Structures are given as C-alpha cells and as structure tokens.
Amino acid sequence: MEQAKPKVTKKTIILPLLGILAFVLYIYFFNVDLLGIIETAKQAQPIPYIAAILISFIEILFYSLSWRELLSGLEVKLSLFKSYVFVWYAIFLDILVPAESISGEIARVYCVNREQCGTSGRVVASLVTFRLLSMFMNTFFLLLGAALLFGVSRIDPLVFGIIQFLVIGTAIMLVVFIVISRREAWSIKIINGVLRVAEYLSRGKWELEKVRNDAYDAARAFHSSMKDIMRNPKKLIIPTFYLALNWAASMFIPYLVFISLGYEVSWGVVLVTTSIVIAIKSIPVGIPFEVGLPEIAMTTVYAALGVPAEIAATSTILSRIITLWLRFGVGFVAYQWTELKAVSLNSTQNNKAPQQNLSI
C-alpha cells in the first residue's frame, strides 16, 4: 500500500509564529520579569546543560530501540540506525506539521513502507502498541510525581484537577484504542465511511477501488498483528524496558536544566509538569501543540508548584531549546538525508532497468 507523504502547508509557518507570540504575551501579561529571565539564563552553568543536551540524544536512542523491538516482534526488520533516523525524521514533521500527535506516526509508516512495501499494517500496529505503552508510562510517571509532591507540599488545586482529568482521560483513550484494535469490522466500516465521503465529494471522478483494496489489506494486517501481540505479551517486555529508559531520560533533561540554573527542584515537580505536557501533546485531536502552548503550560505548572516565576520561565525556555529547536535542527538533517537517499536509490533503480531490458 502506497502511503501519502505528509505535506507542509501555510499553517506550518503561521502556527509556530503565533505560538511564540502567545508565549511572549503570556510572560508580559503575567508580569514575568524579562530582564530577570535573561540574567538568570546568563548565570546558567554549562556542564549540567551540556549533559542535558547529550541525554536528549540518548532519550531518542531508547525511543528508537523500543519501537524497533516492536517492529521486530511483528517481523518487520529495521536496522537500529534507520530506526533512529526515522524517529528524528518523524520528530521534524511533528514540529513542522499541525496535528503533532499523529503526523510523526504517519511519517514513520511512510518511511518504513517505502523501503519495505506491504508492511504498513504491521507498522501501524507497532505504533498503536507504542502509543498504548506510552500512555501507561505517562500515567505511571504522573502518579509517581503526584505521590512525591504529596509527601513534601500541598498540591495546587488546579494542578490536582489536571492530574485527575488526564488520568481519567488516558484511561478512556486506552479502552477506546484496545477495543478498536480488537474489532476488525469496525475498521472496515470506518474505511468504507471515509471512502463514501470521498466518492461523494469527487462525484465519482476518483478511482477509489484500488485505495479500498489497499486499505482493507492494511487493516487486516494491522488487526492480525495486534492479535499476535495480545496472544504473545512477552514480546512487550523488552520494548517496555527501553521505553521506561526513554521516559527516565526525558525527565532528566528539565531536571538538569534546573540544576544548571542553580535551583534545587523536586523530582515531583519535574515528573508532574513533564507528564502533563506530554499527555496533552499526545491527544490526537489535531491541536498544534509544539510552539507556544507547551511553554505556557510548563511555566504555569512550574509556578503553580512553587517554582519562582523567573526560574520557571527561564528553565522552560532553556529546556525547549533542547526539546524543540535542537530536535528541529537534527530532525531536519534526518529528513533531508532520508529523502536524498530515497531519490538516489530510485535513480539507481531507474538506470538499471533500461540496461536489463537491453541485455534481454
């Protein structure tokens, strides 16, 4: 099944700019001292911050290892290097394209299926399983952070309400994902519904029969793969282990940023704040949540948990330099390398074809 490549639109430029503007306005209207932020950033110690940067690469490595193990369990073989590059490729599109929570997943299906045609259903199954494991992991760290905070201070009612909402919302989403994964007939109905809408909009001009057959094949492969995972839960042990290391590494990044600023922050504050931001980002509702909104959410939660406003804003900005802008740059390199390699491979194959015909 040939996958549609994610596309960049005008919103790609407009939404990040609006996000940056929203964060600047947030700082201004809530009377956060901009000069204080700059002075605090100047005093940051380089060694802990450099360590945070290095850990960000290790975090993505564990992420790639976890996903690669899931693919391997579904008999999709992918080298560690390619899985690492494809994850960076997906991160780049996550940041660039609205609907952050699914654009990177579409990109990974596209990349793997382009190299190994016919694997899209199994790749989707690996991504759904990965999302389910991530939701479990995020809920665990969120509750762990809340437990640590209960032991040292009173949690702000707003933050406590957010924690309750996210735990309940995550539980509902887990049930929905699991039910859909077990109901192949539902997937077929969804495919038919989408194609009926497409036929209506095109007034019968689009030839959708091949699309329908490809979608059916992918759906059958997806559900077959999900059933295989459910019958063999041992396949999830190693991916879950790597994913736990990925999450632990992700928590160390903001913690080390606070250390670089000379501020001793509670692990509970880091776990709760990071888990809240990740939980909101993972909701697949098409909300662009990469620039502006995360910064506002992080600064607000930090401040609500007792971190001074200037420290909260400075830590947020320095953390986002690593988790957003550095990743955007590395992801761009991965994107360019992957696409140039694909073009080069296609060119080589096209040049070989005429030579083979001549020899015949």
- Residue 321's pLDDT is 85
What are the domain boundaries of the chain?
11-359
On the question of pLDDT at 12 being above 50, the answer is: no
Q: For residues 334 and 93, is the Cβ–Cβ distance under 8 A?
A: no
Residues 191-211: b if buried by 16+ CB within 10 A, e if exposed: beeebeeeeeeeeeeeebeeb
Single pTM value for the model: 0.78
On the question of pLDDT at 264 being above 80, the answer is: yes
Average pLDDT in the 240-266 region?
93
On the question of pLDDT at 25 being above 80, the answer is: no
Average pLDDT in the 283-298 region?
63
Average pLDDT in the 93-119 region?
78
Radius of gyration of the chain (CA): 22
- Residue 249's pLDDT is 95
Instruction: Write out pLDDT tens, residues 181-207.
Output: 777 676 677 777 766 766 666 666 666
On the question of pLDDT at 50 being above 90, the answer is: yes
**Per the structure block, which two tokens stand in for 219?**
């759906």
**Per the structure block, which two tokens stand in for 307?**
């971190």
On the question of pLDDT at 43 being above 70, the answer is: yes
**Cβ atoms < 10 Å from Cβ of 182:** 12
Cα(first)–Cα(last) distance of the chain, in Å? Answer: 30
Average pLDDT in the 203-226 region?
65
* Rounded-to-integer distance, Cα 30 and Cα 44, Å: 24
